[in-house]
Amino acid sequence: MELVVARIGRAHGIKGEVTVEVRTDEPELRLAPGAVLRTEPASAGPLTIETGRVHSGRLLLRFEGVKDRTGAEALRNTLLIAEVDPAELPEEPDEYYDHQLMDLDVVLEDGTEIGRITEISHLPSQDLFIVERPDGSEVMIPFVEEIVAEIDLEEQRCVITPPPGLIDDGAATDEVDVERSVSSRDAEAEAAGDEAAGDDA
């Protein structure tokens, strides 16, 4: 099975390094020096990782044969693809590969359908499930223990316990109502102040 493990970003410095947007939970394994990766577009690769390091929270890679900034810039937006055994599982029991989570049905504890996982975004702070709703809209679900209650690969479903406002628009509506109430009170207070000022005059 082939999986996208990273997307190449901007060139860094003048010696051929590039920033990468990591799309795997195991960059130390998939993006280690010596790894040979297929690319999309195919004409850019295959690429062999020569060195890797973290700089200001970003992973920087240098590939064999890419020695300057011009060569690094030419790789921008290239996808890096690794060959992964479909039966391979992460070492930790509560960890999952992206391909295991893709297309899982997302439901509430009472069985209410929320949608289907169509993408996993790996951010520095946490991972996000991009979930497509039945109406075609999308919602982002943080992959954290407080929200994701269960991952059932056999049943192909993800059970979530979202906080108010994450799935529905109730919180946003409440905020608007509060703002309107505050505005109304301010207007009334201002009018009362004007009347008082008129009485003093």
- Which tens digit of pLDDT belongs to each residue from 49-69? 999 999 888 899 999 999 999
In the chain, which stretches have pLDDT less than 70?
Answer: 1, 85-93, 169-201
pLDDT of residue 176: 37
CA atoms within 13 A on the CB side of 17: 14
DSSP class of 146: T
* CB burial string 83-116: b at 16+ within 10 A, e below: ebeeeeeeeeeeebbbeebeebbbbeeeeeebbb
Residue 122 has a pLDDT of 76
How far is 79 from 64, CA to CA, in rounded Å?
16
Contact predicate 35/95, CB 8 Å? no
Q: Please tell me what DSSP assigns to residue 43.
A: G
73 within 8 A of 26, measured Cβ to Cβ: no
Q: What is the pLDDT of residues 153-189, one digit of tens each?
A: 889 999 999 998 888 743 333 333 334 444 444 444 4
pTM score, whole prediction = 0.51
